[in-house]
């Protein structure tokens, strides 16, 4: 199997290369932005700005993949409010460029579009666990762009008979994730306190909200399985199917540190609207691919914490 990962230099890209190339022996080519680096497990790396239609088409013609994983995104919800036009451009126009390149290649390449659990919006408690059939009501610029990508994927599959599989991926966590995400943020703060780089407690936002967390290695395994077994034109939730309170994440991180640490609610971290619980129904992906998340949350948090601790110690 030959895969092209578009946007392979980000958090998920490195783990997906590992899964496809190292664990499963696929031939993997990758695109990145100029100046970014990708794993050496790739058989080829190409500098491609997703907004350059010709470049996207060129790499598709050169690599001739069986399957394309489209990971490129402006992936920050917060930045999507500050830079809505950029987010719309990269996430929607970029996806169109990938779909058009696949369409024009004329060889029936499979395209996997990575969407987000954010597409559902601030769901009501009674709608959890969320099924793929729930109406998407996106509540951020980022979520609107991912929902648009999903609709474009369905449109291209139905109108052109293209082979397109879509995900709605819930919170995924692991080593290498930037600290703007909650698990990485709590681990980084705990590591800095443990390393003596700062004093005080771990600052948190709303501790009671419950979210669905999955180790990124499980997530990329689901992407491989969806590439192999997903049905064209269909959307699949990717999550653990379990809602965990931020309070439990903080407790597990403190336990991982082996130290006494407090937590303090920081008003600035509270969001104006926060759904009390967001949790995926994963019946569809389980039935159709056999996938389910396997790595325990505590293990993932321990690894992320230790990664930040090594970083804090090495920075002195």
Q: By the criterion CB under 6 A, which residues form the site for ligand A2R?
A: 7, 9-13, 33, 36, 49-51, 71-75, 90, 114, 116, 169
The two tokens of residue 15 are: 């783990």
Report in angstroms how near the CB of residue 260 gets to ligand A2R at its nearest. Answer: 33
Q: Given the complex with ligand A2R, which of 193 and 220 has the nearer CB atom?
A: 220
Evaluate whether 58 touches 29 at the Cβ level (below 8 Å): no
Report in angstroms how near the CB of residue 57 gets to ligand A2R at its nearest. Answer: 14
How many whole angstroms from its chain centre is CA 60?
A: 23
Evaluate whether 148 touches 131 at the Cβ level (below 8 Å): no
Report in angstroms how near the CB of residue 32 gets to ligand A2R at its nearest. Answer: 7
* Alpha-carbon radius of gyration of the chain: 19
Report in angstroms how near the CB of residue 99 gets to ligand A2R at its nearest. Answer: 14
Q: Given the complex with ligand A2R, which of 116 and 289 has the nearer CB atom?
A: 116
d(CA 172, CA 201): 25
Distances (CA, A) of 181 to 107, 184, 273: 38, 6, 17
Report in angstroms how near the CB of residue 223 gets to ligand A2R at its nearest. Answer: 9
Q: Give me the sheet containing 44-47, strands edge to edge.
A: 44-47, 27-32, 2-6, 67-70, 110-116, 163-169, 235-238
- Signed CA dihedral, 177, 180, 184, 188: sign only: positive
Q: Given the complex with ligand A2R, which of 240 and 257 has the nearer CB atom?
A: 240
CB-based closest residue to ligand A2R: 10
Report in angstroms how near the CB of residue 176 gets to ligand A2R at its nearest. Answer: 9
Q: Given the complex with ligand A2R, which of 120 and 193 has the nearer CB atom?
A: 120
Report in angstroms how near the CB of residue 49 gets to ligand A2R at its nearest. Answer: 4
Q: Given the complex with ligand A2R, which of 183 and 263 has the nearer CB atom?
A: 183
Buried b (16+ CB within 10 A) or exposed e, 37-48: ebbeebeebbeb
State the DSSP H helix or E strand holding residue 94, giving kind and residue range, or none if neither: helix 94-105
d(CA 53, CA 189): 41
Beta bridge partners of 112: 69, 165
Q: Given the complex with ligand A2R, which of 28 and 72 has the nearer CB atom?
A: 72
Q: Given the complex with ligand A2R, which of 71 and 285 has the nearer CB atom?
A: 71
């Amino acid at each position: 199997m030959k895969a092209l990962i578009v946007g392979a230099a980000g958090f998920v890209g490195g783990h997906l290369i590992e899964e496809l190339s190292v664990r499963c022996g696929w031939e993997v080519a990758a695109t990145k932005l100029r100046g970014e680096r990708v794993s050496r497990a790739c058989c080829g790396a190409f500098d491609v700005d997703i907004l350059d239609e010709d470049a996207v088409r060129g790499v598709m013609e050169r690599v001739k993949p069986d399957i394309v994983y489209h990971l490129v995104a402006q992936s920050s919800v917060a930045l999507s409010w500050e830079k809505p036009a950029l987010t719309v451009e990269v996430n929607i126009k970029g996806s169109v460029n990938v779909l058009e390149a696949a369409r024009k290649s004329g060889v029936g390449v499979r395209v996997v579009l990575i969407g987000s659990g954010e597409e559902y919006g601030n769901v009501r408690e009674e709608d959890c666990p969320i099924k793929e059939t729930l109406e998407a009501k996106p509540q951020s610029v980022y979520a609107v762009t991912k929902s648009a990508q999903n609709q474009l994927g369905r449109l291209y599959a139905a109108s052109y008979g293209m082979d397109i599989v879509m995900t709605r991926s819930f919170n995924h966590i692991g080593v290498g994730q930037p600290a703007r995400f909650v698990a990485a943020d709590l681990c980084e703060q705990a590591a800095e306190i443990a390393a003596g780089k700062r004093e005080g407690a771990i600052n948190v936002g709303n501790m009671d909200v419950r979210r669905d967390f999955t180790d990124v290695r499980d997530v990329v395994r689901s992407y491989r399985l969806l590439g192999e077994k997903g049905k064209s034109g269909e959307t699949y939730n990717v999550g653990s199917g379990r809602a965990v309170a931020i309070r439990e994440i903080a407790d597990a991180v403190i336990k991982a540190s082996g130290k006494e640490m407090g937590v303090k609610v920081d008003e600035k971290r509270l969001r104006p609207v926060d759904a009390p619980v967001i949790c995926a129904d994963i019946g569809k992906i389980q039935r159709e691919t056999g996938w389910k998340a396997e790595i325990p949350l505590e293990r993932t948090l321990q690894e992320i914490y230790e990664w930040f601790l090594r970083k804090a110690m090495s920075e002195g």
